[in-house]
Chains A and B, each alone.
Chain A
């Protein structure tokens, strides 16, 4: 009887261990989601910061990008940004123009393409920027394309998805 009980306990523990491993196993989808969340946290700004910190954050964001990254901002004032250096500059500009910046991500879906060297992420981004007593908020769907490079996963393309297309001007 004792042997049988021990067998059951061992089986349950092994099953729990396997389930725990499966739930927490390293996988590209989970890694890319965590990277995106980390990027959003890096972009956020909670109050005044020094020029050094602005540059440091902008560099950290740019380092997540491929050298020839393309970012279609969907904002007329920023347009399309080409290359890591320009991303760094654009991020620094945006950070300098707001006192606070809050970014929330929802519905992050990651799909690895065949070969597992590229991945497409879609998510809903809600951003709130505050400047003095004025705040501006926006919600958009964003598409992020990741590329697996020798140094790891890097972002090759970012696009704001136009869910609602404005009417043409008169």
Chain B
């Protein structure tokens, strides 16, 4: 999640954040792998049912460009349009200065979203 959350930063997440509400666009969420000891941190870019696409590094949702003020550097990402399923979210990191194939980001199922990052502290060098 660099540059927003530097590598090695100390953060506090709330696992109950989505017990009663759904993840919102812009939330930084924790994504569960086999358990809760190692989690991916990603930003929610689009919600279920939305049509998503990247055109020359810009995010387009439902045929409209969606501003992303938190992204500082962009690579020329392009993807085919994709309609998200009923329990699918589009998530990406904020660091996009690399080819899309080198970035861990894309579509994630709702049950993989473990919670929300509330607060973090750390410098660029951890």
Contact = CB atoms under 8 A, between A and B. Distances in A.
B100 A124 contact: no
A103 interface: no
A142 B35 CA distance: 11
Contact of A167 (B34, B37, B82): B82
Contacts of B82: 167-168
B106 interface: yes
Interface string B2-42: 00000000000000000000000000000111111110101
Interface stretch (A21-29, A81-89, A158-166): A158-166
The majority secondary structure among interface residues of chain A is: strand
Contact of B54 (A141, A161, A167): A167
Contacts of B106: 164-167
A109 to B, nearest CB: 6
Contacts of A109: 34-35
Given A168-B80, A170-B79, A107 B38 contact: yes
Interface residues of B, number: 27
A164 B91 contact: yes
Nearest to A167: B79
A122 B34 contact: yes
Nearest to A162: B106
Query: Number of contact residues on A: which range applies?
Result: 20 to 34
Contacts of B35: 106-107, 109, 123-124
A67 B102 CA distance: 33
Interface string A88-132: 000000000000000000111100000000000011101000000
23 contacts: A106-B33, A107-B33, A107-B36, A107-B37, A123-B34, A124-B33, A124-B34, A141-B33, A142-B34, A163-B32, A163-B33, A163-B112, A164-B42, A164-B104, A164-B105, A164-B106, A166-B100, A166-B106, A168-B79, A168-B82, A169-B79, A170-B54, A170-B80
Given A106-B38, A141-B33, 5 more contacts: A126-B38, A141-B34, A163-B31, A164-B105, A166-B100
